[in-house]
Structure formats: C-alpha cells, structure tokens
Copies of this chain bind each other. A is one copy, B any other.
C-alpha cells in the first residue's frame, strides 16, 4: 500500500464521525465553527500558524535533547501538543524544501530542484497551486512573513501566489542583496538582522489581528538560525551554546510571544500551530547524534524537529514516532479546511490528520531523499528501513570513490545513526526499496517530461 493511500484511509476512519464542512459554506460558517459556536471542539477550519526555522538542527531544542540551549516555550508547546521524533523536511537544502512545503510536491517535481541564488531567473511556477491559494478558496486570510526563497522576479512574489500579505526577504540572509520587502516593494535595503525575529513576530501578531472573522494562515519563515547569525543584545550570552544557542533561545522567546498573542486573543483553541524546519544544521547546530548535516541524505540532513498543537484535537504530550513530512501539510491543511486538492495534481504527501490526532498506525510512509541539487533520488525510508543507492559526491574529481559500499540499508529502529549496513542480510528489503526509488524517480521524470 502506498503512503498516501494508507494514511488517508486511517485518517478518514478517525474523523468519520466529525462534521467536516464543505468548501462552499464559506467564510462565516468557518468562523462560527472555529470559534466553537457550533458546539464542542472545532474540528475544521482552524487558524493555522506555521513557524518554520532555517537550518535548525534536530537536537537544538531542549525537548529534542539539547542541554546547552533552553527552550521552555517550545518545550511547553510540545507538552501541549504532539512532538514528532521522525519528521522530515522536504529536501536537504532550502529552496526545494520550501517548494515541497508549499506545493506539497518534491522540489524536482515542482520545478525547484536546487537552491536559488540572486542571479537565478526562475522561481515558483504559476502552474503550482500552493497552500495559501487553497486556503484562500476556503476563506482564509493568508500572510507570508520572513524568508521566501522561491524566486525573486515579480511573478514569483508571495502575493502572486495566494498570500494576501508579504513581509520578509526573497533570499537567504547570506545572499546579496538581502532586502526586506512588503508585498511587492522593497522597504529596507540595509537590514539589521538582529531585529528580524522580533519584527517577523510583530508582523505575525498584526496578521492575527488583521484577519478579523476570517480564519488565518500565517506562515512565519524565520531567517534564523541560518548564517550569518544575529540576535538582539538582550539575548547575547543567554545560552550555554554560543551565539547560535542565543539565537535559538531568542527564537524560543518569540515563539512564546506568538503563543501568548494567540491566547490573549482567545484564539488558542482555534489554532493549529506547527513548528518545524527546512533541513538539517549547516555549519553549527546539533544533529542530535544523527549522521550527516544539511546537504547530506543521511538523517541529519533531512530530519527536523516538528511540533503540532491544536488544543483538544492533538493529544497533549504525545510523542509520535511515525515518519511524517512537510509534504503532508498541504493535504492535511486542505482536509482541515474542508477542501479537496486539485485532482489533476500529483501530491507527494498525504493527509495526516489522524496522526496529528494521535493515531499510531501509519506504518508504510516512504520518505524520499533527493541529492542537494535535486538531480538524483539517492535514498528512501519506508518504515524502519532506509536504503541509500547513491551518496553525496564530495570529490567531483573522483566521484567513483564516494559511490563505494552502496547500497546501504539501515534499520533505523536498531541503528538510528545509520552506522551499520545490513543490505547483505536483507536482499528482499533492498529490492523493494530500490523499486520504490525507481518508481518514484520515473514518476517525477514522466511528469517533468509531460510538462516539457
């Protein structure tokens, strides 16, 4: 059974008794429902606050094992919601990871296989229908704050892709020019990066207030902790983990400000908060003992912290070991919003409402790991097994040298650090996972060929 089928099925069973509103019923009904006016817990059209960090390590929050960094607000969010041990970003680097998040499709399929640089002309295609476009059709107010990195031409601007408002940067904070935009205008060319986290937070709170009776989708794509690291003076030296740790503690503080803002506005019960990240840690940051970092297809490159909280819907304090992916967010958000993704579009994730709501049953959920340039599909995880068929090339002059000892098969249950290749003793698993890779790669290639 494929990934999408399985989780959708269990999810459908889990929510079959709930009243799911149709898209046509529109804004007012949604607002009434999310305020709980229809009685009982709201089960649909929640506000969605998606906080998305940049180059964060799997082990950088206290609730993911950090000792030198204290993240009390994020830890509390985890205690109040579901914390995922096996959540995956959409790619091992920034642009394809963000493309995966917003389109629900892996970067190569979505036409954004690799990191964009200021000299690049391409960006998010009009053919892609992304999360805010879907949610707008269900009456949501949509706001994009922070790092975009899906193209810098006017046609790539977030406001051309379903976001009512945009405040943030078109690139990573180590790229030039690093400017702040409001909608389609540059509003700041010399940016004091130490102010970014605070200002993104203030913009998000303003977006909550601006949404009025509409449910909102607020996407806060933090610029930190991507290099260069910057933090407000008040956080300097706050952690026991250098400037990087201070930056994480600052993020924790501002996550707290956002959560406080929800509570103060009476929106806590009506809001699904998701906190996750775009790929593994780069120069600094802890992979939490996982092998590899950003750019690599070992777990440290793709596995990220992920916490989801919707009081009364997500079981408080649940720790889920099910593999989930940011690719799942689009179908899940659509399902909660009561709308159906375009049937003609291939989505690579699945509706994980049941998992957010506490299910432990979705065992077969392939995770696909493309190389950092999106050229090749190098690894797949299905349940406890992970197969690598290619490896990141470190020596372009001697690429063969890096492709030895393949395939690698790891039993992530017994060997979470991918240290011991068990491919020889599990040939059937190798064959099955290799077929998953071949089929998925063919499927993506076929779609690209069709699109021309």
Q: Mark A residues whose CB is within 8 Å of B.
A: 57, 59-60, 67-69, 227, 237, 240-245, 281, 283-287, 289, 291, 394-397, 404-405, 408, 414-415, 417, 419-425
SS class, residues of chain A in contact with chain B: loop
Cβ contacts under 8 Å, A281 to chain B: 419
* Cβ-defined partner of A420 (8 Å) among B241, B287, B423: B241
Q: Say how far A83's CB is from chain B's closest CB, in angstroms.
A: 20
Please state the number of chain copies in the assembly.
2
Q: Say yes or no: A285 contacts B419, CB within 8 Å.
A: yes
* Cβ-defined partner of A419 (8 Å) among B227, B286, B404, B414: B286
Q: Say yes or no: B68 contacts A415, CB within 8 Å.
A: yes
* Cβ-defined partner of A243 (8 Å) among B68, B283, B424: B424
- A57 to B291, alpha carbons, bound, how many Å? 13
29 contacts between A and B (CB under 8 A): A57-B419, A59-B417, A59-B419, A68-B414, A68-B420, A241-B414, A242-B421, A242-B422, A242-B423, A242-B424, A242-B425, A243-B421, A244-B420, A244-B421, A245-B420, A283-B404, A283-B408, A284-B405, A284-B408, A284-B420, A284-B421, A286-B419, A286-B420, A287-B291, A289-B289, A289-B417, A394-B394, A395-B396, A396-B397
Chain B: which residue is nearest A57 at the CB level? Answer: B419
- A420 to B239, alpha carbons, bound, how many Å? 10
Chain B: which residue is nearest A284 at the CB level? Answer: B421
Q: Say yes or no: B394 contacts A283, CB within 8 Å.
A: no
Given contacts A243-B421, A284-B419, 7 further A-B contacts (CB under 8 A): A68-B415, A240-B414, A241-B414, A242-B425, A243-B425, A283-B408, A289-B289
- A423 to B408, alpha carbons, bound, how many Å? 37
Q: Say yes or no: A241 contacts B424, CB within 8 Å.
A: no
Q: Say yes or no: B405 contacts A241, CB within 8 Å.
A: no
Q: Say how far A254's CB is from chain B's closest CB, in angstroms.
A: 20
